[in-house]
């Protein structure tokens, strides 16, 4: 049985890992470049809000991770072990040889990651005629595996909206991390990796004109903010830093 003395060094190391990753991404993602990119996207096909999130992660976040991951592991960013430790939902990341696969769950689970789903919708899915909605297979935006500490990331891109929209985005993102952490260990099935994540991380980037998301995180009740890491093992990264 693991004791408090065993666990604390792990938490300290994990906290340091996340904090340094936060600084790395803050240095690599330029707010001015993000604004220019949004403008170009608006002038083009005009992606939906959800598409913006995926495109942003593909362009600014995932390409910046191998450099940090290699440094954290004492390896070259191009070392095959770095790629092997890096999983992402993105097909583009795999195509560009950044990742080694997808972090999709090995098994299906009873609930979905949708925050606020009511009991009636769950009852309908469990006792429905088709049975198709009774279980759900889920995939975080990206994750790390051995030789890196096992970690799930849920990425959020906040492009526009005010105070209430920003608060809702944070609650939803933190809940999704909590949901992922609640999954029990599942052995590998085919190409899907086993889930054995002790920590989760919400990465949220604020590209709104008034910095609503950054402000929402800064003004969050201290007890709730501290509980994310202290009791739920969820590290929250909100960028850009002021």
Quickly state the pLDDT bin for 190 (edges 50, 70, 90).
low
Using CA atoms, how far apart are residues 115 and 118, in angstroms rounded to an integer?
A: 9
237, containing H or E segment: strand 234-239
Better pLDDT: 200 or 122: 200
SS3 content of the chain, % helix, strand, coil (to 5): 50, 15, 35
Q: What is the pLDDT of residue 109?
A: 83
Pairing of β 86-88 and β 199-206: unpaired
pTM above 0.85, yes or no: yes
Quickly state the pLDDT bin for 4 (edges 50, 70, 90).
very low
Exposed e or buried b for every residue in 62-81, given b needs 16+ CB within 10 A? Answer: bebbbebbbebbebeeeeeb
Q: Domain ranges for the chain, please list them.
A: 4-100+139-182+194-239
Terminal Cα distance for the chain, rounded: 43
147: preceding bond cis by omega (within 30 degrees): yes
Report the side by side order of strands in the sheet with 199-206. 86-88, 142-144, 151-158, 199-206, 234-239
Contacts of 164 (CB under 8 A, 6+ apart): none
Q: What is the pLDDT of residue 8?
A: 64
The pLDDT > 70 percentage for the chain reads: 88
How many residues appear in the chain?
242
Q: What is the pLDDT of residue 46?
A: 62
pLDDT, average across residues 202-211: 94
Contact between 59 and 40 (Cβ < 8 Å): no
The answer to which of 14-18, 139-143, 188-192 has the lowest mean pLDDT is 188-192
Residue 2 pLDDT > 50 = no
- What are the tens digits of pLDDT across the range 137-178? 888 999 998 888 778 899 999 998 999 999 999 999 999 999
Name, of 144-153, 176-185, 194-203, 208-217, the range with top average pLDDT.
Answer: 208-217
């Amino acid at each position: 049985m693991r004791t408090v003395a065993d666990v604390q060094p792990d938490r300290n190391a994990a906290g340091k890992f996340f904090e340094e990753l936060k600084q790395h991404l803050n240095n690599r993602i330029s707010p001015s470049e993000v604004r220019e990119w949004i403008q170009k996207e608006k002038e083009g096909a005009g992606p939906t809000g959800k598409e913006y999130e995926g495109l942003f992660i593909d362009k600014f976040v995932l390409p910046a991770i191998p450099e940090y991951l290699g440094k954290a592991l004492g390896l070259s960013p191009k070392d095959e072990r770095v790629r092997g430790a890096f999983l992402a939902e993105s097909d583009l990341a795999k195509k560009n040889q950044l990742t080694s696969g997808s972090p999709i769950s090995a098994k299906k689970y009873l609930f979905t990651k949708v925050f606020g789903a009511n009991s009636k919708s769950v009852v309908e899915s469990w006792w429905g005629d088709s049975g198709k909605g009774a279980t759900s297979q889920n995939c975080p935006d990206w994750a790390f595996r051995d030789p890196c500490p096992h970690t799930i990331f849920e990425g959020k891109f906040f492009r526009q909206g005010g105070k209430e929209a920003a608060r809702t985005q944070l609650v939803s993102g933190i809940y999704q991390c909590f949901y992922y952490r609640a999954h029990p260990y599942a052995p590998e099935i085919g190409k899907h990796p086993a889930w054995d994540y002790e920590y989760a991380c919400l990465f949220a980037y604020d590209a709104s004109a008034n910095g609503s998301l950054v402000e929402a995180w800064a003004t969050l009740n201290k007890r709730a903010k501290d509980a994310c890491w202290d009791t739920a093992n969820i590290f929250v990264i909100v960028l850009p830093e002021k």
